[in-house]
Structure 1
Amino acid sequence: MNIKILALLLLAFCAQPAWSQTPAASATAVDSPALTTRLALRDLWVEHIFWIRNYALANQAADHAQAKIAADQVVDNASKIANSIAPLYGQPAADQLLKLLAGHWDAVKHYSDATVGKDTKGKQAAVAELTSNARAIAAFLASANPNLPEATLVNMLSAHGGHHIAQIDEFAAHDYAGEARTWQMMRSHILALADALTAALVKQFPDKF
């Protein structure tokens, strides 16, 4: 499997570096296929945080039926995100991306479940999972692409996980005003992730866009 290709695929799961913002904007402004891709990926990634939020809220309220539906939607959304890159990179790469997304979801779910169960050690273990996942992806991306500083990627990936953690904690504390602020930050961040993926795709496959 081509490591550089996977690095580009996973760019959607890292924060948008400052140098990618202008190219993304300029590319999508003049290129309809790029704009279509950007909007589609934005929708998919907003669904990612939307359904995880629904799971966390239902889980906190002990609404097991809704929590299951939300969890199923998280998995379905992850499959759609992964399969969206199959036409460009092939199904094996899409399957690998799905495994990485599954690892992220597992860690967030573990944190939510541990919070509901008041399991301090479980919460700590879940944070360790998220941290390990962020570092692994950052190291992978940095080794594949010298233009992606590993330290920056670790910080940005950790911020995404941190939004999930903050949101779950705020639900547990019934701090809905705080959660509203977190949601706004989370949404802005996830849109930046989607735009970063678009920028990477346009750069890697200019003939397709």
Structure 2
Amino acid sequence: MKLGTLALLLLVALVQPSWSPAAQQTGASAESPALTTRLALRDLWVEHIFWVRNYAVANQTGQRQQAEVAATQVVDNAKAIAGSIAPLYGQPAADQLLKLLAGHWGAIKGYSDATLAKNDAGKKAAVAELTSNAKAIAKFLSDANPNLPEDALVSMLGAHGGHHVAQIDQLAKGGFAGEAMTWQAMRKHMLVLADTLGAALVKQFPDKF
């Protein structure tokens, strides 16, 4: 299974609070396509939060060149995620997902920039955009996979966005111990997303695995 086929799944993983039950349903074994998919999804989404954090840190400390590189990597990662669904859902769906992921990143970047500028109105607007985007992504994923309840996706995507906001606030205030805890929560959340998403993909496309 190519890494490209994994993107939608990772976002879809937001639906389920834990991976273990779903994973057991896949019957994944060592070196199976299902396991390969799960591991690739983990890499893809941990990379997302890794580069977003790098941008937030660089932006907060005025490291413009570092921030630009991190932003480029965030965009490249979003393209990889969007492109990954094309083999299963088609290029139009991949293009739509990329637009939605661009909105997600735009809201996070906007919040970081507004935080740096001490612009409370800008922060509020960014959070509203992040919330609206989460609902749009949830609808997209739910429409793509009938096994994914839209309301559950909205809740899980909202939690993901909340991690980004909390992390940026903590970095801005120098709350590094708290930010370390937030990072651990974000990473755990991404692993749950990847694992659950892999199980959801196997369920929707059993003939592919």
**Correspondence for 1:114:** 114
Q: Does 1:56 align with 2:51?
A: no
Q: Does 1:33 align with 2:28?
A: no
Preserved contact between residue 58 and residue 64 of structure 1 (Cα < 8 Å): yes
**Correspondence for 1:5:** none
Q: Which stretch of structure 1 is more off in the superposition, 198-207 or 32-41?
A: 198-207
Q: How does 1:125-140 map to 2 (within 5 A)?
A: 125-140=125-140
Q: Distance in 2 between matches of 1:68 and 1:195?
A: 31
In the superposition, relative to structure 1, how do residues 130 and 65 fare at CA in structure 2: closer, same or farther (>3 Å)?
Answer: same
Q: How does 1:11-160 map to 2 (within 5 A)?
A: 11-14=9-12, 15-18=14-17, 21-27=20-26, 29-30=28-29, 32-142=32-142, 147-160=147-160
SS at match of 2:62: coil
CA offset at residue 84 of structure 1? 1.7
Unaligned runs of 5+ residues in structure 2 are 1-5
Amino acid at match of 2:16: P
Q: How many residues were matched structurally?
A: 202
Deviations 1:62-84 (A, max 9, x none): 00000000000000011111112
Q: Distance in 1 between matches of 2:18 and 2:52?
A: 29
CA offset at residue 154 of structure 1? 2.0
Percent of pairs with identical residues? 69
Q: What TM-score, normalized by structure 1, do the two folds share?
A: 0.88
CA offset at residue 152 of structure 1? 2.5
Preserved contact between residue 11 and residue 197 of structure 1 (Cα < 8 Å): yes
Deviations 1:115-142 (A, max 9, x none): 0011110000000001111122334445
Unaligned runs of 5+ residues in structure 1 are 1-7
Q: What TM-score, normalized by structure 2, do the two folds share?
A: 0.88
Q: Does 1:196 align with 2:196?
A: yes
RMSD between aligned alpha carbons? 2.2
**Correspondence for 1:187:** 187
Q: Distance in 2 between matches of 1:148 and 1:44?
A: 20
Q: Does 1:174 align with 2:179?
A: no
CA offset at residue 23 of structure 1? 2.6
**Correspondence for 1:4:** none
